[in-house]
């Protein structure tokens, strides 16, 4: 760094008053191309955010979050300290249920991919409290891949309502004897599923007035299949009208999709963490495509994939690319 930047950094580091610090921050030079400068300035605003939150000064903490997007435009994102700042901002959004802070976090400062364990953990907490299971499972998986321990989730009250949830316990490696892992390519066409497929086609061919006896037979066979410890999903081609499907099956299908979505997020993390063109990168893309294809088979239509679960456009599945053209 040149002398003027060193001098500016020294002023920022010495300023303890948060309001005066924010005034100084407005004069941060843009496009310095100094990674060290980015790290130091980000550390300074992060320290002020931590000081405010530890003192229970939410108003000052919010000011730091509000100032961060403009700072990013000037100096860029510091992976380590930027992730720490964003992780703390996620906690603020959760604790105070502030819509403005939430919008800044998720629309302006959230990194393209999550590679910091504390950020992944705090996101899991955020979505747990919101009871958004799919997102919670996705970030639990990423947090554990990054080194967080299952004991942390079991001791955290944010997850208390999920302690008895089978998917939550399976994700943490508990009760594994009672849970089936979901294969990458499902072989669901057992003889009983084939019978359901035949019945489903007959019901669909009957149009608006299918025989009641056919529907009753279909539902009976489906319940029998689930009672035989089958815990997967048929896929739209084998399903009858949604309103006729038993709630037990619809809940089961939802659980299957939650697991698949978590795997999709895990593939995206592996993809972003690997070097482009490497074998690990290619394997992540291949597994991502297989996972997407299975989710597409189950849901019967293309679904929206969140940015942090997506690959680069060129590497996304063709069906997804075609849908958004």
Can you tell me the distance from the alpha carbon of 36 to that of 255, in angstroms, rounded to the nearest whole number? 45
**Domain parsing of the chain, residue ranges:** 3-178, 191-245, 254-323
pLDDT in tens, 8-53: 889 999 999 999 999 999 998 886 666 788 889 999 999 999 999 9
Least confident window among 65-69, 76-80, 129-133, 294-298: 76-80
Residue 167 near residue 178, CB atoms below 8 Å = no
Highest mean pLDDT of the ranges 19-28, 180-189, 258-267, 306-315: 19-28
Helix (H, G, I), strand (E, B) or coil at 30: coil
Domain 3-178 has CATH 1.25.40: yes
**Closest C-alpha to 262, from 168, 156, 152, 199:** 168
Q: Which two tokens stand for residue 20?
A: 């005066």
pLDDT in tens, 70-103: 999 998 888 778 999 999 999 999 988 889 999 9
Helix (H, G, I), strand (E, B) or coil at 310: coil
pLDDT at 1: 63
pTM above 0.75, yes or no: no
pLDDT at 32: 62
Can you tell me the distance from the alpha carbon of 1 to that of 32, in angstroms, rounded to the nearest whole number? 9
Q: Is the pLDDT of residue 187 over 60?
A: no
């Amino acid at each position: 760094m040149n002398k003027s930047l060193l001098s500016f950094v020294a002023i920022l580091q010495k300023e303890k008053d948060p309001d005066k610090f924010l005034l100084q921050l407005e004069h941060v030079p843009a496009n310095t191309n100094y990674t060290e400068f980015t790290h130091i300035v980000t550390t300074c605003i992060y320290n002020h955010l931590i000081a405010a939150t530890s003192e229970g000064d939410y108003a000052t903490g919010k000011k730091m979050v509000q100032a961060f997007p403009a700072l990013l435009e000037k100096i860029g994102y510091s992976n380590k300290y930027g992730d720490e700042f964003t992780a703390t901002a996620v906690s603020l959004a959760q604790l105070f249920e502030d819509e403005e802070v939430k919008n800044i976090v998720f629309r302006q400062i959230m990194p393209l991919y999550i590679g910091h364990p504390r950020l992944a953990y705090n996101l899991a907490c955020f979505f747990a409290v919101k009871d958004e299971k799919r997102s919670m499972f996705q970030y639990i998986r990423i947090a554990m891949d990054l080194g967080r321990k299952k004991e942390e989730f079991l001791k955290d009250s944010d997850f208390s309502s999920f302690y008895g949830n089978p998917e939550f316990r399976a994700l943490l490696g508990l009760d594994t004897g009672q849970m089936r892992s979901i294969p990458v390519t499902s072989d669901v066409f057992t003889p009983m599923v084939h019978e359901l497929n035949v019945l489903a086609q007959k019901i669909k061919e009957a149009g608006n007035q299918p025989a009641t006896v056919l529907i009753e037979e279909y539902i009976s066979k489906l319940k029998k299949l689930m009672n035989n410890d089958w815990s997967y999903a048929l896929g739209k081609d084998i399903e009858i009208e949604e309103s006729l499907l038993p709630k037990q099956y619809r809940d089961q299908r939802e659980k299957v999709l939650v697991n698949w979505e978590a795997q999709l997020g895990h593939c995206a993390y592996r993809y972003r963490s690997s070097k482009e063109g490497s074998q690990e990168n290619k394997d992540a893309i291949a597994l991502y495509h297989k996972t997407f294809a299975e989710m597409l088979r189950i849901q019967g239509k293309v679904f929206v994939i969140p940015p942090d679960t997506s690959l680069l456009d060129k590497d996304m599945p063709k069906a997804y690319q075609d849908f958004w053209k």
